[in-house]
Structure 1
Amino acid sequence: MALEISPSGESEAIVLIKAAPQVGVRHGETVCCAAIDLYGNWLRLYPVSFRHLDEGKKFGRWDRIRFRWRMPKDDGRAESRRIDQNALTITGELKPVERERFLARSIVTSLDKERSEGRSLALLKAEITGFHVERKSDDEIKAQKAKFEALHAQPDLFNTRPLIPYTPAPYKFKYSYRTDDGRREGTCQDWEIEATFFKWSNTYGESKALENMQTRFGEEYPRKGMLLAMGTHSLHPDTWLINGIIRLDEVQQLTLL
């Protein structure tokens, strides 16, 4: 079912993408989120100030959410929606046994084809050829920290609950992969991968954490089956970013015909 062009509306969708927080001039600290609605249409949801949400509204991957939206004036990508996050509700969760069937119709193997048809979000089945960990430069780390520190130093006119300062990961986690279009490489922006790094670093130490991440994300996930949740850059529409990774045992058996 094709998306209906309307200036506003209300939708229910299953959340698939929750990328690591970013700081922007207009919206402050926000998270890139994307979901597939109950008709199989992709929706990009923003601005989501995720850490300001009430605990009962903090959704995760596979949650079914209901939200009001309107078409943005500053984003021409077909799937983009400005949402009223204060009116967002979690209405359920997609059960593990339902996930293969729900995702199957959205899986693609060519990003060039998706772009040529005007789409800016995609669920990509690719051959994973490598997982690489790259330490950010000291200047890059300082610049990222400075953005978040400057934001939290500003007077908060709308949210009175204090936030623990967000610390970006000091590493980039990259995938090399092959699609029908050829070889590609990109940094994985999934919030889960950053959260895993910090959790394991606190538990095992940084060196062991990186070793374990190589095993899980670089060996176990590709072997058992995974999908790349892709999105185009807002300023560079021909550039695809890895916004998230989705692990499914069944994905290796999916029929794409």
Structure 2
Amino acid sequence: MSPNVAAPSPRALVRPPAATLARGEVTHVVRTPVDVALAAEQWRGYVDALAQADFEIIEVAADDTLADSVFVEDAVVILGRVAVLTSPGALSRRAEIAGVEAVIAGLGLVERRIDLPGTLDGGDVLKIGATVYVGRGGRTNAEGIRQLTAIAADEGFDLVTVPVTRVLHLKSAVTALPDGTVIGHAPLVEHPELFDRFLEVPEETGAAVIVLAPDAVLMAASAPLTAVLFAEMGYRVVTVDISEFEKLEGCVTCLSVRIR
């Protein structure tokens, strides 16, 4: 790219919470009441934080028949120029793909997909540079990983499989800071040795960050000790309250798909 041409703004794919959000799937937590009105307010705050970080917001239409559809990250994985439409491991979530596909079709990306009997949730996919870590657990199976491996190889990515049994998705346990350091809450990370660099964080919800810029991250307000740790490392930390989504095993990464 010419130095006189500005880089395109990153994009964030989001989907408003359904009115039926409180019926969403839970696996590793005890179900507690969800305040749907508060969740809608928190979602708007989350989207505003992305917009303030110069993300172009692209919205998929809400669908009240799909309780978990706000967790749009599970529906599509972006690998460079390719959008991989997933095959959710929960039967109740498979209809979410159609709405996401309709929007992805207009973004100029090459579409690929994971087909049954393969299952893959986007929350199980962590990209760091040219390496794609994929969690194999309750929602993502071996056939889904096999299909993703072939797609990733075509795009120049290497794939590493990570067993996941203590949390819903790989990115419920680990994400990465802008410098590529993998972060996680140690009791939930089964194989930290699989990552080149691993940093333990003091709170479970502190394990999830979105990279906003080389010097900035977005994270949940429920992990203040971890926020202090990142600030001491020199990062600008933006926090958002997503307490109602955390009741459904959601985190900041689940609520958007970042396209750079």
| TM range, smaller chain | under 0.3
Which structure ranks higher in relative contact order (CA pairs < 8 Å, sequence separation ≥ 6)? 2
**TM-score, structure 1 normalization:** 0.27
Q: Which structure has greater strand proportion?
A: 1
